[in-house]
Structures are given as structure tokens and as C-alpha cells.
Amino acid sequence: MDSVPSSDVRYLRDTVTKAVKIVVTGHFGVGKTTMVGTLSEIRPLRTEETMSQAGAHIDDLTGTRGKTTTTVAMDFGRLTVSDSLVLYLFGAPGQERFLPLWKDMTHGALGALVLADTRRLDASFPVMDLLEERGLPYAVAVNHFDDSPHFAGEEIRESLDLLPETPLVLCDARDRASASAALLALVQYLQTRTAQELA
């Protein structure tokens, strides 16, 4: 899913008639800010702050070696998919203390892309539980880290207790083609669900 080239991507084209809100979510340190930045055709809005000692006893830094910043509100990016369609990407902060913000952020969203990490798969459950409570469809993208253990897709699907129809893809949030493929899996899933509901 490549964005449509434009001489000036700061502004929306006059031909855009439909905008879709997508939430990029997942647990703390899973790569949401990176994913939004990789996909966005505009300079992404980031609300990252340097991590402090005050948060050291709250934020679990397991598996996040070298992480020095954290999202404190949200990330925001935009991706033009066609002459008429644009996706607005909202990256949610990963700490559980931001759950009320996640609830507000999912309002009006068509779906969510949940990033997961094989080093901490259990940390994905609170995020998926929230999305299921809100009735928001989602796809899961397992983000690659250099020290991540590798598992077969079916093992990950079973560990996350995903429904058979829930898309599960492997991705590298730093790579545009890989991040786009993960987003495309979500968009295709949403299209299929919409078609089934209309049938």
C-alpha cells in the first residue's frame, strides 16, 4: 500500500472525499510511534517526553533496552491511499494508566492495528480486551526486534487466543513496505467485514 505521490503532501487533495480513522495501539515500547512515523506522509505529530525516575516504578522496561522516551498523549500521522481516500493514524500511548485516553481515541475509529512483541506477548491482552469491549475490529502485527524470539504464526495466534478471522502478520515497524503490508492486512479485513455486514 503505497501512498499517492504528491508535489506537496502537507495539504489534502481536493479530490479526497473520505477519511478513515485507524488506531495504532499496543503495549508500552512495542513500536507504535515508529510505525506511525514510518507510514505517515506528513511529519507526524509526536508527544514523546524523556522518561524520568518518577515513572521508573510504574513503567515496565523489560525488553525495551535503550528506550529513553515515552509517548504521553498520542502520535498522529496521515496516509493518502487513493485520490479519494485518506487514513488518519492515531498512535495510542502504551502504558495502562492511559486506558481512559485509549477509550476516547477509539471513538469514531474504523479499526485498530495492534502491535505485539514476542518477548512480551502477554502484555497485548489488556489492549485487545479493551478493543473487544468497544467492539472495534483489529488486526495484529508482530513487530520484529533484533532480540525477539521467532515463533510460527500459528503458535503466536494460539498464544494470543485470536479468532480465526483476525489477521496476524509479521512486520518491521521501521520498514515502510513491511509497515504498509501490516496496515493493508487491517484494511482488507475491514473491507471484508463491511461487505459481510451489507450482504
What average pLDDT does the chain have?
Answer: 84
What's the rounded mean pLDDT across residues 57-65? 55
What's the rounded mean pLDDT across residues 59-77? 61
pLDDT of residue 58: 55
Question: How far apart are the C-alpha atoms of 67 and 155, rounded to whole Å?
Answer: 28
> Mean pLDDT lowest for which of 50-64, 99-113, 162-176?
50-64
What's the rounded mean pLDDT across residues 147-155? 91
Q: pTM score, two decimals?
A: 0.81
Question: Between 79 and 59, where is the model more confident?
Answer: 79
pLDDT of residue 6: 47
Question: How far apart are the C-alpha atoms of 141 and 163, rounded to whole Å?
Answer: 14
Most confident among 46-55, 70-79, 115-124 (mean pLDDT): 115-124
